[in-house]
Structure 1
């Protein structure tokens, strides 16, 4: 199936829904449980009620394709230095007031989905361009569940890995199916209070924690965690202490945590930028609670960007933004003391560097 340029959306049937007594159809993909009548769309925008079932309306359509460094996802422990073919669609199943990709994730216009590519096209393009992996990003891949799974399957046939960049806001059964097809993930743990999720994201914290525990204890998916720190909202020492202690207790010390800087955007233009000191403080709290790999992001901080051996404290992977420098990893272990380095590594890093190259698919 290949979409013609400017074609109407293709309605792809989905599995996770059921009919209510009043005739509405409830979407069971995520905890939002949208209840729709014929012709209505869910909050995510791309799942809709059509012919008395929930369909996906964005299959094969994207808001753009780009080759990025894998560290941009961010993933620091999954084939460092390698290129990843990144793409997203439109819409989102959360309503974060601080969204950094609001032009795509908040879009309710199909014109946003200007680029088109079917799964086999994407996988072949990634392979030809030397990408180790494909990343479902820019908006949450949970909402284009069927498309993401088909792309991942096509990639696996060609030896290309799949990466999900997600807020983890998904129900149990679709979560299990989705992550059977993923090799790595970065989960956006937006805060550690229900009040933040309710007031600022229009969601709930608990399903995200369930996703994290599921990934750790029931899958082999390599995953890392990112928290965007917003001044006065989720950056207190007390909250960071509870969050990082929970990660170590429930997920173990080897799950990398990224603390990244907020810049005013979307509906939170009245908040200041996150200071580098706030990020460094979060990193110190995480390390103090036993997190072995804690990083700072969206600021220039070579120490906070780099990977250090948790045992002998030697520098293992030097980073300057997305550019790799000194490399002291051998056999997925510290070259100095032999301590295992958690993640997925090769003896030599990739050489992609900080390049970012937009890609147009042929159709």
Structure 2
């Protein structure tokens, strides 16, 4: 499949224009993402219709807490990534050669309609580097009455993002840090494009944010404060998921402590309406009205609406940022 968003150069080279890396790729070589290859001066997608894994997940696992709580969704993923985070949780499919299988569009749609699924979540690896496939499937899914969810690092250029967004119903965007230095050293990327993605996406579709907290790297009070204030500058009702780090891939630092996560939540809650902790068993991740603390969604088992009517809190009438 020939890629969208690239330009041809002299000497049979091409420049990819999909993500901020803007890789210049020699004939026969691949870009940083490992899935876009120059073949005789044309940029080809190597993972079009190729799936490494699929599963039915609770929507809360994406994590999306304010988008059809309690529902299931078909999750599909391919291989490759345009960042190289030292703590990558899915490094086997992001940075290594992975077994994949070709799958027909009709089969994906059939799976997306099965087992009570509300749609398709493009996840596991970085879905935006499979732009052509995700764009194609998102339009097809919509025509079949399915929802489209993008779980992404947000590292995509503005023009392709604008083309994709009208077909996306919800996004979880991984904001790894509010510091550019963290992106450069730990993720081999830049912060600004991710901030731009969040700003643009939040104006077009439902957005939730994940921040994986690594003690000593992005966990200081000052950084959490800055991150929360930046999100507030867009919309304080954007949910954020502060997630526990576990040693993975190249990073062997100790796992994030419970106290560090609680501290981060306390700081973020001063600025944001909905702050959750992820990857911690047994913690209270119910949704409460930020105005009167009435229970809106109970998550003792799976998401269950309790105190909402016409998008408002049953107790005080406050508008709740939730799609159901």
Question: Is TM > 0.5 for Structure 1 vs Structure 2?
Answer: yes
1:279: which partner in 2? 261
Equivalent position SS for 2:44: strand
Listed as ranges, the matches of 1:255-294 within 5 Å are 255-269=238-252, 271-289=253-271, 291-294=272-275
1:6: which partner in 2? none
Equivalent position SS for 1:174: helix
Listed as ranges, the matches of 1:38-49 within 5 Å are 38-49=27-38
Listed as ranges, the matches of 1:15-54 within 5 Å are 15-54=4-43
Cα pair 1:120 1:155 within 8 Å, conserved: no
Equivalent position SS for 2:269: helix
C-alpha distance in 2 between matches for 1:97 and 1:302: 27
Residue 299 of structure 1, aligned match among 280, 290, 294: 280
Listed as ranges, the matches of 1:154-193 within 5 Å are 154-193=140-179
1:342 aligns with 2:324: no
Residue 302 of structure 1 deviates from its aligned partner by 3.4
C-alpha distance in 1 between matches for 2:122 and 2:157: 18
1:22-56 deviation digits (Å, cap 9, x = unpaired): 54211010011111111111111111111311111
Cα pair 1:225 1:255 within 8 Å, conserved: yes
Equivalent position SS for 2:173: strand
C-alpha distance in 2 between matches for 1:325 and 1:241: 31
Residue 329 of structure 1, aligned match among 303, 308, 312: 308
Residue 154 of structure 1 deviates from its aligned partner by 1.5
Range that drifts further, 173-182 or 192-201 = 173-182
1:225 aligns with 2:214: no
C-alpha distance in 1 between matches for 2:294 and 2:41: 60
Equivalent position SS for 1:302: coil
TM-score if structure 2 supplies the norm length? 0.96
Name which structure has the greater RCO, CA cutoff 8 Å, separation 6+. 1
TM-score if structure 1 supplies the norm length? 0.86
Cα pair 2:75 2:121 within 8 Å, conserved: yes
Post-superposition, which runs of at least 4 consecutive aligned residues in structure 1 deviate over 4 A? Answer: none
Cα pair 2:12 2:27 within 8 Å, conserved: no
1:242 aligns with 2:234: no
Equivalent position SS for 2:232: helix
Gapped regions of structure 1 (runs ≥ 5): 1-11, 346-363
Gapped regions of structure 2 (runs ≥ 5): none
1:319 aligns with 2:308: no
Residue 151 of structure 1 deviates from its aligned partner by 1.3
